[in-house]
Chains A and B, each alone.
Chain A
Amino acid sequence: MSNNVRLRKTNLKYWYDRSFLHITRFFALSVLALTGLMLAKLIQGAWLSIRHFGWSFLTGSDWDPVFERFGALPFIYGTVVSSLLALLIAVPVSLGIAIFLAEIAPLWLYRPVSAVVDLLAAIPSVVYGLWGLFVLAPWVRSSLQPLLGRSLGFLPFFQGPPLGVGMLTAGLILSIMIIPIITAISREVIRAVPRYQKEAALALGATRWEMIRLAVLSNARSGIAGAILLGLGRALGETMAVTMVIGNRPEIALSLFAPGYSMASVIANEFTEATYDLYLSALTEIGLVLFGLTLLLNFLARLLIWKFGDVQVSGASE
């Protein structure tokens, strides 16, 4: 568009006009530069720890700042397990809502239900944590954990004393927090499936569910996978709510009832208390791993979603 009007280079207007283009271009380039700078600063901060520990940082399970021993495995384990647990709960629920909204709900129901699900994304993370600590955790301790212990107690995942705070509660609260993002993106992806595909299935005599299964889900598969990856990325980086309910104990326990620790939580709790350089550097390396992991997940997710055109991504993350 900027080529449409030709002004002479001697005209002051020309330079005024070009300068605006250059200003906006400068800020656009800054987005790339800031991302690069972020990566550089994190690597710089983590360098001491990378040099000192090498790969054993990621495989060591001993976290003892007093004796300068740093192994991040308990945090990686806690983050991964709580996030996968969250996906296990959130994916069926989100897909149910997304399909309902995109294919079944009439317009008068579509608007309010969408708004309510978006509202879940608007609630700040720290409020989720507050609710998790004082409402969800007591309920998990008094109802859910005894119930699971009685019915599925023969599995190693559901053994141990019911504490309330722990991996299970963290997974539950994360699942609630990632429902809006998975729902919103799968909803848009499903809506982008061509109408004639659906009509063809219906014309062949498919019931509504068969139409959804044959025409919609098979077409939207990769987009839904992208939505799930974005949800996973959000769960991995979620900080405050998890910190408040996961129990903050750097141990690897098979039981979901046991307290754990996550990568984001240990940064939140210990970063300001890190008293010497190696400690700070070890925490920064955890941040670097988190950054790399979420960057990769988001990259993959965007590649999967982009072919569906402009799918707006909303929702808060913390």
Chain B
Amino acid sequence: MSIRSCGAFRKVVLMLFRTYLFRKITDAFITALMLLAVVTALIPLVSILWHTFRQGWSTMNWSFFTHLPKPVGEPGGGIANALVGSGLLILLASAIGIPFGVLVGIYLAEFNPRGLGTAVRFTNDVLTGIPSIVTGMFVYALLVVTMGGFSALAGGVALGLLMIPTVTRSTEEMLKMVPQSLREASLALGATPTQTILRVVLPAALPGILTGIMLAVARVAGETAPLLFTAFGNRFWSLRLDQPIAALPLQIFTYAISPYRDWQNQAWGAALVLVGLVLVLNVFAGLAYSRASRFRR
């Protein structure tokens, strides 16, 4: 008996659920929940940008950019060495990561062998998900141990390795977007495949590839974990490749976890510089991309 009444109850409930009004209300409710999700994601973003700007701005002045860090207790001091160090590390990383990534991307897009191509593409995609601190440990074992100490070179190599998957992926995507007719025209005029790739296809895809490169640079510019035991950080001027070197993210980390109010303020200042740099790179990447997508159908 109880089973039957349960069934009747279910029927009534289901009928209620199936009324048009109820379905419309559910629809509106779910849409509202989705809007709420968008707002939820916005709150932390706005908070991060606002706090970084407000707290960072108050430490900004000319000497912040031109001076070395001062010892604890002395007011003032800046991030000049970290800025230069980060610049050098990014240059090193680009010198390794960009050619490497672009060449692999060309191989995947233009020569595209079945077995090997799939294996490389898959490995490359999987590599994007490997924690960067593990890359740091790898470079530590590879370079720091063999060279006998922390060095700018090791830091640059670690960041360069992290750039490869992103650059490869975007190069391949962008080359594939170039219309086949361009290649055919070039080959028909008697150009060899290599000439076609280097003089016709690559220039056509260049804006898109630049987008990928800028995004990759923006990503490694903020990387901290792989630098902890490769570049290591340095409180003094150094431009030598075989010596530890300062970097902006490392400086932020050291200052943020320090107990000194003055240093914590400087961490916010350095964070503002870093976030500004990353955002500018992202905006430029967006602009380059809108130029690159002209081939998109």
Contacts and interface: CB of A to CB of B under 8 A. Distances in A.
Contacts of A188: none
Contacts of A179: 41
Nearest to B219: A316
A272 B138 contact: no
B271 interface: yes
A20 B45 contact: no
Q: Is the interface of A mostly helix, strand, loop or mixed?
A: helix
A225 interface: no
B255 to A, nearest CB: 9
B129 A233 contact: yes
A104 B103 contact: no
Interface residues of B, number: 93
Given A316-B222, A318-B224, A127 B274 contact: yes
Interface string B200-239: 0000000000000001001101111100110010000000
Contacts, number: 284
A42 B140 CA distance: 10
Interface of B: 23-24, 26-27, 30-31, 33-38, 40-42, 44-45, 47-48, 51-52, 55, 100, 103-104, 106-108, 110-111, 116-117, 119-120, 122-135, 137-138, 140-142, 161, 164, 168-169, 173, 183, 187, 191-195, 197-198, 215, 218-219, 221-225, 228-229, 232, 249, 252-253, 256-257, 264, 267-268, 271, 274-275, 278-279, 282, 286
Interface string A157-184: 0000000000000000000100100010
Interface string A1-29: 11011010000010011001101110111
A111 to B, nearest CB: 10
A237 B130 CA distance: 7
Contacts of A21: 107, 111, 193-194
Nearest to A96: B37
A210 interface: yes
A122 B279 contact: yes
Contacts of A284: 137, 141
Interface stretch (A53-61, A66-74, A191-199, A288-296): A288-296
A262 to B, nearest CB: 11
B222 A124 contact: yes
